A and B are shown apart, each in its own frame.
Chain A
Amino acid sequence: MNEVFPSPAAGMFGRRLRRERGPRVPVIVITGFLGAGKTTLLKRFLGTPEGAGTAVVINEFGAAGIDDALIRASADETVLLGNGCLCCITRSDLQQTLRRMLMERDRGEIPDFRRVVIETSGLADPSPILQTFATDRALGEVFHVEVVLTLVDAENGLDTLGWSSEARKQVILADRLVVTKSDIARGAAEALTLQLRKLNAGAEILKAVNGEIDPARLTESAGDQRNTFVAEAEHSDGISSFVLNETSPMKWTVFSRAMETLLTLRGTDVLRVKGFLDVEGCKGPVLVQFVQHLSPPPVELETWPDGDRASRVVFITRHIPEKQIRDLFAAVKALA
C-alpha cells in the first residue's frame, strides 16, 4: 500500500533500513558434523552476557542436549535454561516449532527471546532451514537469518570433507566457518583451512580456542562480508560459485526477470544466491536472497556500507555453468 502514500524516504521496496534485518529477531543457523563441537560452542555462548535471551532450537533429535534435562525432554517441549535462554528439541516441522515458540512468548509462557539459534546435527543440509524463512510470510516477518555458521573440526574435518558431499555443501553454503579443535590437531588445522578456503572463498574462517569464539562472531550479521566475495572455481559435486558484478545500476526488472527464468527452469540447482544490487532508482543497496525457488522480499538499505556502489551477488549453483547464467543476464538486459 506504499503507493497510496508514497515518500521520498521509501523506495520501491518500502522503508529503507539501517540494516538488513530491520526490527526482526535474528536467527543464527549452526551446522557441522557430529563431534565438531557445536554444543560446546553453543553452551559457552549461552553463558555469556552476549548470549542472554537466546532461544535454541535443536533441529534433530539425537543430538547431545544442552544439558541432561534436554536429553530426557520429549520432543517439541521448551525448556528454560539460565541467563534468560531457552531450548527446544524438535523432530517435527521447524515452522511449527517456531510458530509454537512465538505463541508461547506472546502468552508469556516463555521469556522474551532476543535471537534464535537453530542447531542442526549430523550432515544436515541447511537449505531447507533457509527456505523456511524465505517462504513463510508470518515467520519471515518476525525472523531474519543473520548468519549460517558451519563448524568443522580439525581432527576429522579434512577426511569428512573428502567423502561427504553433504559436508562439502554445509561448508559451501556457510557465511562463516569455524575450525574447532585446532589445538588438538595443529597441523591438520592448516590443511583444513586451505581446503575450506577452496570450497568457500567468501566465508570468514575462525578458529575456536578451547571450544570458544568471540561471541560477536556468532551474532554479527554476515552482511558485512560482502566485500570479500571473489570468483570461485568449480568444486566437486558439480557445485560452483561465482560473483555477478556490475558497476552500473541495474534495472530491477532485468534482475527479477532473469532470476525468474533461472529459477523456473533450474530452481533446484540454484543452491543459494545472496548479495547487494545497485538498482536503478534506489538510493541504497538492495539485498537479495534466494534459496532454490524461494526468496524473501528484497530490502533496501539506507546507505552503501562502504560507499562503493556496485552490484555484487554471489551465486552458488549445481551443474549450471557460470557462463550460462552470465549470458542469461546479458540477454535479458539487452532486451530490456
Chain B
Amino acid sequence: MSATDPLHSGEPVSWNFKLLSQNNMSGFGGMGEGMAMQIAKDGRRIMWLAHESAPKNFTGVDVTDPRNPKVVVQTALPHADVRSNSLEMSGDILAVAYQTKKKGMQPAGFELFDCSVPENPKSISFFDCSGPTSRGVHQLWFCDGEYVHMAAGSPDFEAANPNDDQFYRCIDVRDPTKPREVGRWWLSGTRKGDNVAPPPRHTLDKGYRAHNCNVYPQRPDRMYLCYLDGGMYIMDIADKSQPKVISHWTNSPPYTGFTHTAVPLFDRGLILVTEESTEDNAKDWPKLIWMLDARDETHPVSFSTLPMPPVDAYKNRGGRFGSHNIHENVPVPTSFQSDQLVFGTFFNGGMRAFDISNAYQPKEVAAFVPPAPNGSKLGAIQLNDVYVDERQVVYTVDRFSGGLYILEMDF
C-alpha cells in the first residue's frame, strides 16, 4: 500500500464530487482551454469546447441533461499545424483562436462564428494575425459582445527574443463582420526596436508573452493580464487605445514563471493568480495558485497559496502535475459566480475544489482524479481546464483523450 494519503496518493479519487457522465468527443478527446456555455434559442444548453490540437477545431456538446451529454457538432482544422485551444462566447457569437506551430503559417488569428443554430456554426469574420513574425492567437477573452481581448502575434510586431512573440491586443468586434484592432500593449524590451533593455531570461525561459487577458464588468476599465515569465499586470484600459500599467506582481524568480490566469474577486479585494505547469514529471515544480491581496491595486501582495497534494505522489504518474486553469467566474449568465470556492485543474492531479472563505487558510474540499482515459499514452489523466455553470454543474476536460467529464458537487 502506498505510504501517502489516499486522497493525494495519485490513485483515482472522487471525493465530494459525483461523476455524472463522460463523453470522449467522438474519439477526439484531446481538449484545450476554451470552454464556453450557450443557452440556444430552442432552450438547449450547449457547451463549446476548443480542442487542444488538430485535427479538430471545436466541438459543441448538448449538456442540457448533464447525465447524457451529446455531441451536436464537431468542426475540423484545415491542417495539422494549427490549433484552436481557446474560445469564448457572447450570446450566440463564438470567438475561436487559431495559433500555428510556426511563425508565418496560416490560418493565424481568430474567427467569429454565429452559433444560433448550434449544429451549423456560420463563420461571420476572420481577424488575420498572420505574418512572418506571428503564430496567431493563443488565448482570447470575449464576454461582452464588444471586444476580444487576446494574446496574439501580429505581422507588425517582431519580438526581440523568439519566445516573446505574443502580446496583448484589443479588437473591437461591435460590428462582428469587421473586427478591428483598437489597442495593444507589450512588455517594454520584448519588441525589436524598443529602446529599453530586454527583460532577463528565466532559467526555463518560457517567454515573456501575454496569456489570459481577463476583463470583468465590475471594472470594465481594468484588465488582469498574465504575461508568462513576466508575471501579472493590472492594466488600466479606460482608454483602450492606450493600456497603462497600474501595477505588476511576479514570483519569478525564484519560481519558474508561466504566470497564466488572474481572476479578481472584487467584493473581497483579492486576486487569484495561477501559473501553468509545462514540464512533465513536475520538473518545474512548484506550480501553484496564488492568493493576492489587491485592496490596493497599485500594490498587490501575495500571502497564501491553495494547498496542493504532495508532489512525490504525483510527479511520476505520467505527464504533467501542477496548476494550470481555474474556473474564472466568467461574466456571463451561464457561469457560476463565487468568491468562496475555487475550482482548479492540475493535470494528473485531477480537478480540485477549494474553500477560500478564510483567504489566509484555503482548504481543499473536493477532489476528482479519474483513471487514465482510454487511449491515454501517458498512462494518467491530464485534466486541463474546468468550468462551472450557473446550475453548479462542473465540467472538466482531459488534454489528450478523455474528453469531457461532468460532475456534481457533493459538498
Contacts and interface: CB of A to CB of B under 8 A. Distances in A.
Interface of A: 1-2, 4-10, 14-16, 18, 22-23, 105-109, 111-112
9 contacts: A5-B293, A5-B359, A7-B339, A16-B340, A23-B355, A23-B411, A108-B2, A112-B6, A112-B15
Q: Which label, helix, strand, loop or mixed, suits the secondary structure of the A interface?
A: loop
A112 B338 contact: no
Given A18-B411, A23-B355, A112 B365 contact: no
B338 to A, nearest CB: 7
Interface residues on B, range: 20 to 34
Q: Which label, helix, strand, loop or mixed, suits the secondary structure of the B interface?
A: loop
Interface in B1-57: 1-7, 9, 13, 15-16
B268 A6 contact: yes
B267 interface: yes
Nearest to A24: B411
A18 to B, nearest CB: 7
Contact of B357 (A8, A15, A105, A106): A15
A15 B268 CA distance: 13
Contact of B268 (A5, A22, A112): A5
Given A18-B409, A23-B366, A7 B340 contact: yes
Contact of A5 (B9, B269, B338): B269
A112 B15 CA distance: 9
A270 B358 CA distance: 32
A109 B5 CA distance: 8
B129 interface: no
B411 A108 contact: no
Contacts of B6: 105, 108, 111-112
Contacts of A7: 265, 267-268, 339-340, 357
Nearest to B355: A15
Nearest to A112: B6
A2 B358 contact: yes
B306 interface: no
B361 A1 contact: yes
B13 A112 contact: yes
Interface string B333-376: 00000111100000000000001011111000110000000000
Given A15-B357, A18-B411, A107-B4, 9 more contacts: A1-B358, A4-B359, A8-B267, A9-B267, A9-B339, A14-B357, A16-B340, A107-B5, A108-B5
Given A15-B357, A112-B15, A22 B3 contact: no
A10 B341 CA distance: 11
A108 B4 contact: yes
Nearest to B6: A112
- A7, A8, A16, most chain B CB atoms within 10 A: A7
Contact of A22 (B5, B339, B365): B365
B359 to A, nearest CB: 5
B360 A105 contact: no
A16 B359 CA distance: 15
A71 B1 CA distance: 25
A1 B359 contact: yes
A112 B16 CA distance: 12
Contact of B338 (A2, A4, A9, A106): A9
B270 A5 contact: yes
B16 A23 contact: yes
B409 A112 contact: no
Contact of B7 (A2, A18, A112): A112
Nearest to A105: B6
B13 A15 contact: no
A111 B15 CA distance: 13
Contacts of A111: 6
Contacts of A10: 340, 357
B353 to A, nearest CB: 8
